[in-house]
Amino acid sequence: MSKRPWGYQPQNQRPEPSWELHPDTHAIRTGLARSGFGETSEALYLNSGFTYSSAEQAESSFAEETDHFLYGRFANPTISMFEQRLAAIEGAELCVGTGSGMSAMFASIACLVKAGDHIVASASMFSSCYVVLMEILPKWGITTELVKGNDPDVWAKALSKPTKVVFLETPSNPMLDVVDIRMVSELAHKVGATVIIDNVMASPVLQKPLEHGADVVMYSATKHIDGQGRVLAGAILGSAAYIKEQLNPFIRHTGPSLSPFNAWVLVKSLETMSMRVERMNTSAQLIAEFLETRPEIKSVRYPGLKSHPGYAVSQKQMDGGGSTIGIEFAGKRAETFAFMNALRVIDISNNLGDSKSLITHPASSTHRRLAPEVQAEMGITESVLRLSVGLEHPADLLRDIEQAL
Ligand SMILES: *Cc1c(COP(=O)(O)O)cnc(C)c1O
């Protein structure tokens, strides 16, 4: 609870608790920097610049001898509250908020690599992450090798070459492939690579990659962290050395900054995140089990099901299967679309991790940008749907799915 934004002068402060707080308490309390008004809730500092009491104070602030906010592209009190709160929940030394999940993904990698460097990544991922690794970075002379599955020999072979970064999306969007974070991290560290986890699908509630050997965690805060469909945002978490020496110099000058307003929405969202994610997780498990019993469904991809190829690994590194289910229909595209159109509660939408249950057809929406062979490699066919389970009563969601089937 002791962490406060830079330059913060405590007002009416009471002594700090003497014990280590639970993440759920950090989610409510940590980072809170009350102004002199003593407001209960976190204040929104909607400003781009800051003033100094003298030219000397400005100079010492820029020299980093005085703790003082400098400019909105670098930091802001409301953004700082969000960053410190999320870092405490995640168990990371530092956090940097960004304007979107993709700017977090891009910056977390780009700050580490130069022309000629090599990346190893898990093969199944969100389409924009794929485009960054396989289309944008190669233009700058940075190559990526993709590895499928969880075979340690296959990963060891890929990681026998000099590698700067290992990027894993686990579980993956939309097929919920699970990668063993500890196994890959140990192999990656032997060649000195930094392991970055896209932890969007699990959320900070259900998976803490740093505890399993990863170095850096990134989020699309647009998903479960906001979780109510309002703002676009991202976050990068890691050691003080990574954030201060690698990430900050890159971010400060390239400018993927988070808006203070969005940070204010997010700092309040963190207060309810664990309750929301736990409820979604319980409902998703029920729905996944129900879908598995249905003849209309060819296969259900959900890390909380024993039938999932990554079940054993997910039991080891996750506290639940998550809120997203991959569904493969027994029919073709027509039957799959007919099912989507027959739903009466669940919305058709390409977002996920929202309080509203949402369903999408990745082949024609989120992953349409990928070539058919790449989609096929990831298991995305015309009859695959991604269901993001929300906060509605599970009985209504089950009934909606049953009547649509
Ligand atoms: C949505 C998503 C992103 C990108 O986040 P934005 O906030 O939309 O930029 C990255 N990775 C995964 C796994 C996602 O689901």
- Chain centroid to CA 330: how far? 31
Decide whether 28-38+48-56+68-268 matches 272-404 in CATH topology: no
Q: Which two tokens stand for residue 342?
A: 């027959």
Q: 2 pLDDT exceeds 60?
A: no
Higher-pLDDT residue of 366 and 133 is 133
Candidate from 98, 173, 176, 218 with most ligand 1 atoms within 8 A of CB, to mutate: 173
The predicted model gives 99-123 an average pLDDT of 98
Model confidence at 58, pLDDT cuts 50, 70, 90, reads very high
Q: What is the pLDDT at residue 4?
A: 61
DSSP output for 211-273: GGT-SEEEEETTTTTT-SS----EEEEE-HHIIIIIIHHHHHHH--PPPHHHHHHHHHHHHHH
The predicted model gives 15-42 an average pLDDT of 91
77 lines ligand 1 (CB under 6 A): no
Q: What is the pLDDT at residue 352?
A: 96
For ligand 1, atom 7, the nearest C-alpha belongs to: 101
354 lines ligand 1 (CB under 6 A): no
Amino acid at residue number 46: L
Q: Which two tokens stand for residue 210?
A: 């740093």
Q: What is the pLDDT at residue 5?
A: 62
Segments making up each domain of the chain, as ranges: 28-38+48-56+68-268, 272-404
238 lines ligand 1 (CB under 6 A): no
Report how far apart, in Å, the C-alpha atoms of 175 and of each of 98, 218, 384, 385, 388 are. Answer: 26, 19, 9, 9, 12
Model confidence at 265, pLDDT cuts 50, 70, 90, reads very high
283 lines ligand 1 (CB under 6 A): no
Give residue-wise pLDDT tens across range 114-166.
999 999 999 999 999 999 999 999 999 999 999 999 999 999 999 999 999 99
Candidate from 216, 222, 367 with most ligand 1 atoms within 8 A of CB, to mutate: 222
Tell me if 303 sits within 8 A of 311, measured CB to CB: yes
266 lines ligand 1 (CB under 6 A): no
228 lines ligand 1 (CB under 6 A): no
Q: 367 pLDDT exceeds 90?
A: no
Tell me which fold the domain 28-38+48-56+68-268 belongs to: Aspartate Aminotransferase; domain 2 (3.40.640)
Distance CA 69, CA 81 (A): 13
Q: 36 pLDDT exceeds 90?
A: no
Tell me if 228 sits within 8 A of 269, measured CB to CB: yes
**To the nearest whole percent, how much of the chain has pLDDT over 90?**
88
Model confidence at 260, pLDDT cuts 50, 70, 90, reads very high
Q: What is the pLDDT at residue 374?
A: 86
Q: Could you check whether the bond before residue 10 is cis, i.e. omega within 30 degrees of 0?
A: no
To the question of domain 272-404 being in CATH 3.90.1150.10, the answer is: yes
Cα of 81 vs centre of ligand 1, distance in Å, is 22
100 lines ligand 1 (CB under 6 A): yes
Q: What is the pLDDT at residue 8?
A: 65
Distance CA 228, CA 222 (A): 9
Q: 81 pLDDT exceeds 60?
A: yes
